[in-house]
Structure 1
């Protein structure tokens, strides 16, 4: 990999911001650029960087793919607009679920999301805008994991030999590709983003699809979305790098109202890590785990089992899909 990492202890955030704004401005020239805001730290930082560099020549879209957390699309749009960056919310839920229909293999699901986003939804928006450049929040870890074959990240394109100008009709600009997550958070704070954004736990590009083992139907996404609400409420005060609720595919035996019930299993993962390269399970208090399990089995329809992952990365990975 020929990308030179800028480590956290060597980062001068103001100098980095100025340098990247200069690069964005020179690359785009007098034209326009588009970017997709997902609500994660990376895409939010890119939005603010590009807005500072281009002003109203940047067209920012939040693509509602139906795969996000509860209330997330409108909340993220509101926050960025409060920071001065205009955002257009686009409803593409039907297109993404149509592309995911019948797919159970993790790589096929990731590819379906990539193709729907880049070839269908975003390609259409780019053509309508007339822009020739796309900003996106690829970071160093995304490239590292994809190139190493650990996990294909949906936003890795040029590094896999994909000619984006030929395939999609635009050139991709990746201002954060030399940074890992802690450094991106530092840049976000320097850009004036609120703690609600800069302190957010990492959220995968494929969104809740990365937390559904098996087919990601609207019903199964809705179930894991509800489980995520419960999880994030219970772990809100836990100092962890990332946490998630994962819906397993197989139904397992349980008991409900004195009768046998073949229900669903939610796996909880909570990680201590600095940059996602390695991670260890957070030592959560057992009474917290019991309370979490009680809420999951009573508030998330069909769940009869809640487990907690205790395997470190490696050999485990942070996401399950």
Structure 2
């Protein structure tokens, strides 16, 4: 049973000191690898690891083809300013091959998990000689996985899976007692710039978690374009998270006076503290109307834009 450290209980400096010491003791004089996605969890654990290990921690960004536009260059640039070198590892073909023909949400998550941990990281760890992977699992990831709500790709031991046996390396999870608000506080204390520690959450399976049905490069590109519009236009709402989802079925629309079977984008925008419960943000209707028109203009093939107004629970923040 993991004991939660709430934001009210959290002493960031003591927490950082304890986790730095723990990482050093675990890794010893060896080296470790960590994956940086640019989200607050992975960014915070990256700085914790580099404070503990210095150049004995190799930080990589996995280019899986499922990220936002220009994400790799942007994230590498942020961390270059912080004195951390980020190696971008090209793996797009591997991830799209693993996802080919899969529509079921849990099968998608499993395909991404195996490709990430067994294939891509297994290769990186073997080539580097590292015996440890440092990652930013948080308590909400554990809760949702154990409860059967959705399998988070970064949860193993709580499901009885030994990463050493499954993948050939151990996993260190220094943030596992925290929720998102606590992670933000630790990231701020470590020196992350506000544009990183206040960044909205982004799912581990990336944009594949926002494509209902089969994942292809073309469908990912559609939701990527819609995501760019949503994040640009809802960025000043103060919401906890906002996102675009591509639905599976085509819907009837009209274009140039003729029927057009087109794509449907669902927009979600949430007010929450730690993602356990959430309420749809009351975005002004005029803003939603402008947002819909901009998505239709910017994303080829879209004829319908909807806004989710169901709370969590029974909804969840991400669609799948």
Q: Give TM-score, length-normalised by structure 1.
A: 0.99
Task: Give 1:3 deviation, angstroms.
Answer: 0.4
Mapped to 2, the partners of 1:42 and 1:53 lie a distance apart of 17
1:304 alignment partner in structure 2: 303
Q: Secondary structure at the match of 2:264?
A: strand
**Residue 8 (structure 1) aligns with:** 7
Q: 1:85-124: per-residue Cα shift (whole Å, max 9, x none)?
A: 1110111001000000000000000000000001100100
Specify the alignment match of 2:135 in structure 1: 136
Give the Cα–Cα distance (whole angstroms) in 2 for the partners of residues 223 and 182 of structure 1. 31
Consecutive unaligned residues of structure 2, counting only runs of 5 or more, are none
Q: Tell me what 2:202 maps to.
A: 203
Aligned to 1:166: 165
In structure 2, what is the Cα distance between the partners aligned to 1:81 and 1:154?
27
* Cα distance in 2 between the residues matched to 1:120 and 1:67: 17
The alignment partner of 1:8 has SS state of coil
Q: In 1, distance between residues paired with 2:83 and 2:161?
A: 33
Q: CA deviation at 1:80?
A: 1.2
Give the alignment's Cα RMSD to 1 decimal.
Answer: 0.6
Provide the C-alpha distance between the structure 1 equivalents of 2:179 and 2:202, rounded to a whole number of angstroms: 14
Task: State the 1:257 CA deviation.
Answer: 0.7
TM-superposed CA distance for 1:236, in Å, is 1.5
Tell me the equivalent position of 2:100: 101
3-state SS in 2 of match to 1:48? helix
Runs of at least 5 residues in structure 1 that lack an aligned partner in the other structure: none
Superposition map of 1:149-228 within 5 A: 149-228=148-227
**Structure 2 partner of 1:68:** 67
Is the counterpart of residue 284 in structure 1 residue 286 in structure 2?
no
What are the Cα deviations for residues 265-303 of structure 1, in whole angstroms up to 9, with x where unaligned?
A: 000000000100000000000000000010111210000
Q: Residue 232 in 1 paired to residue 204 in 2? A: no
Q: How does 1:17-56 map to 2 (within 5 A)?
A: 17-56=16-55
Q: Where do 4+ consecutive residues of structure 1 move more than 4 Å?
A: none
Q: How far apart, CA to CA, are the structure 1 residues paired with 2:135 and 2:218?
A: 30
Aligned to 1:314: 313
Paired with 1:274 and 1:17, the residues of 2 have a C-alpha distance of: 22
2:268 paired with 1:273: no
**TM-score between both structures, scaled by the size of structure 2:** 0.99
Cα drift, residue 167 of structure 1: 1.1
Count of matched residue pairs: 320
Point out the more displaced range, 18-27 or 233-242: 233-242
Deviations 1:114-168 (A, max 9, x none): 0000110010000011011110000000001100111110000111111111111
In structure 1, C-alpha distance between the alignment counterparts of 2:79 and 2:169, rounded to whole Å: 24
